[in-house]
Structures are given as C-alpha cells and as structure tokens.
Amino acid sequence: MQEARISLLQRMPVFGGIRADVLQFLLGVCPVVAVPANKFFFREHDQADSMFVLEAGKAAVLKSWLGQEYFLRTLKEGDCFGEMAVMDLLPRSASVRAVEDCTAIRLSAANLYQIYARDLKQFALIQMNMGREVTRRLRQADNQLFRATMGPGRGHRARFPARGRALAAMFGLTRRT
C-alpha cells in the first residue's frame, strides 16, 4: 500500500521530482482521512493549515455567493486540494464535499516543515511545485473569467451566461460593445 501511495504522489505536479524516501517519510507522519459521501472535507472560511491528496473517490469544489453554493469543479483520485492554505495560512477559499466515499492523505504545514528540517532542497522543490500549481489554476481562472466576460469573439457584444453574469457581477464588470 505504501508503494502505491508513493507512486500516486510522484504522478502529481506538486510532488514532481521529489525523492521516494522523502515521500515515504511524509506518508509516515501524515494521516489518511476517510470522508463519507455528502460530508465535507472542509468548508469555505474554515481556518486551515493543511492540504489533501485524494486517494480514492470523487469530491466537488463549491463556492458560496449570496447564500448559494456554486459548483466549481470535480476532484478525482490523484488530485490535490487545499494547498493555498499551506502556503498562506488563510481561511479556506472554497468548500470541498465528498461526492462519493473518499480517502485522502492530509498534509499539514507542520508536516511540510518536517521536510524543511530534513532536506531543504526537497522542501524548496515542493514549495516551487505548489506555487506552479496555484499559478496554473490562477491562469485557468483568468482565462475563464475573460471568456465569460468577453463573449464569443471580436465585434460581438459581450454575453454573460448565468455563470458569467455571476462572475462579472462579483468583479464589477459590465457589458461592453
């Protein structure tokens, strides 16, 4: 089972290039959590200090706005989530709910600090990888917002489909010709 977990982590961008012995150490100190279907890993605005690696199951990322929950994306085996909390130690920016029974590895900032104490180069690589992953997601969000705001192409009036209208309103954007 430990080899399967190491293999799972090595396939993830956040742990790309991390040696197996470092991952084995992490797995030795990080708990595995089980979250039943329709229960939450965490909720938006919860205090946070950890990220998760989904080993089994599917989960939904949800964002609250004006008293409603909106679906952002589905997480599957091998996906990580909550890494922003490890980087900035701020409250959760979204909720994650299990769609089906899930198991996940929970990695806290303290667990990662143990890597810092053991191997500074491997710690720095994990931090750089997390930064790259967060940046990739930011680029993706920027592109989605731009497409939702600008519509289908040149010379067309910007259209705001339901999701686009919500995003546009959230960012104070208006229709432009």
What ranges in 151-176 are assigned the alpha helix state H?
162-170
Query: Which range among 24-28, 56-60, 117-121, 173-177 shows the weakest confidence by mean pLDDT?
Result: 173-177
| 165: confidence class by pLDDT, cuts 50, 70, 90 | low
The CATH number given to whatever domain includes residue 45 is 2.60.120.10
HSE, CB side, 13 Å, CA atoms: give it for residue 25: 16
By C-alpha distance, which of 73, 26, 82 is closest to 54? 82
Instruction: Tell me whether residue 135 is in a domain.
Output: no
pLDDT above 70: residue 167: no
> How far, in Å, are 36, 50, 58 from residue 39 at the CA level?
6, 18, 12
Instruction: Tell me whether residue 155 is in a domain.
Output: no
Instruction: Tell me whether residue 9 is in a domain.
Output: yes
Cα distance from N-terminal residue to C-terminal residue, the chain: 57
Average pLDDT value for the chain: 87
pLDDT above 60: residue 171: no
Instruction: Tell me whether residue 143 is in a domain.
Output: no
Instruction: Tell me whether residue 58 is in a domain.
Output: yes
What is the identity of the amino acid at 58?
K
| 122: confidence class by pLDDT, cuts 50, 70, 90 | very high
Task: Provide mean pLDDT across the span 46-64.
Answer: 95
Instruction: Tell me whether residue 34 is in a domain.
Output: yes
Q: How many Å apart are CA 73 and CA 88, to the nearest integer?
A: 22
Q: How many domains does the chain have?
A: 1
Instruction: Tell me whether residue 145 is in a domain.
Output: no
Q: 39: domain range?
A: 2-120
Taking only the tens place, the pLDDT of each residue in 92-104 is 999 999 999 999 9
**3-class DSSP state of 36:** coil
Instruction: Tell me whether residue 147 is in a domain.
Output: no
Taking only the tens place, the pLDDT of each residue in 11-37 is 888 898 999 999 999 999 999 999 999
